[in-house]
């Protein structure tokens, strides 16, 4: 059985890292996006371009992913959908989504969305919460987390 990795690729900052780990372990990769990506990929990588729409890439991943496959996404509802299919899920910062923590992640996401709708905070800030910049440490954490999940699946 070949391991498959599904990447919610439109805004994913760790595509190169995914490919590095995938090549090392000969894993199949699906880079799913709403637009064509200019990047060189190998024979185990498929670029999937879905029609434009808010959740088209998410829907494709959620429909295709299988048990013990790995999803790479920062999208919490997509992470939840993948977990329900017994897939493994990590975000680009290396945070693993699990059945134990997805409920809290969804609740926090909903609270922040509600605060934005009510006009609290400005320009992505909600009571001192910012969307933090992606760091070298995040990239390193991601590589370690992905390697750990791939090893777990072997």
The crossing angle, in degrees rounded to 10, of helices 136-153 and 15-25 is 30
For residue 17, CA distances in Å to 40, 70, 82, 89, 147 come to 13, 14, 21, 15, 10
Q: What is the pLDDT of residue 114?
A: 76
Residues paired with residue 22 on neighbouring β-strands, in sequence order: none
Q: What is the pLDDT of residue 1?
A: 60
- pTM metric for this prediction: 0.85
Q: What is the pLDDT of residue 40?
A: 82
Quick one: fold of 4-98+136-153?
Answer: Rossmann fold (3.40.50)
Q: What is the pLDDT of residue 126?
A: 45
Tens digit of pLDDT at every position of the chain (154 positions): 689 999 999 889 999 999 999 999 999 999 999 988 888 888 999 999 999 877 899 999 999 999 999 999 989 899 999 999 999 999 999 999 999 988 777 777 767 777 777 775 554 444 455 567 889 999 999 999 999 999 988 7
Neighbours of 14 (CB within 10 A): 23
Q: What is the pLDDT of residue 58?
A: 94
């Amino acid at each position: 059985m070949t391991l498959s990795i599904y990447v919610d690729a439109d805004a994913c900052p760790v595509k190169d890292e995914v490919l590095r780990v995938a090549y090392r372990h000969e894993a199949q990769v699906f880079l799913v996006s709403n637009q064509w990506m200019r990047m060189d990929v190998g024979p185990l990588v498929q670029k999937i371009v879905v029609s434009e729409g808010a959740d088209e890439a998410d829907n494709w991943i959620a429909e295709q992913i299988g048990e013990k496959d790995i999803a790479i996404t920062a999208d919490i509802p997509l992470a939840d959908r993948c977990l329900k299919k017994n897939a493994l899920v990590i975000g680009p910062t290396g945070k693993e989504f699990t059945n134990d923590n997805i409920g809290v992640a969804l609740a926090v996401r909903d609270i922040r969305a509600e605060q934005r709708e009510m006009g609290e905070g400005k320009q992505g800030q909600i009571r001192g919460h910012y969307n933090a910049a992606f760091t070298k440490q995040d990239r390193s954490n991601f590589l370690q987390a992905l390697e750990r999940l791939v090893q777990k699946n072997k």
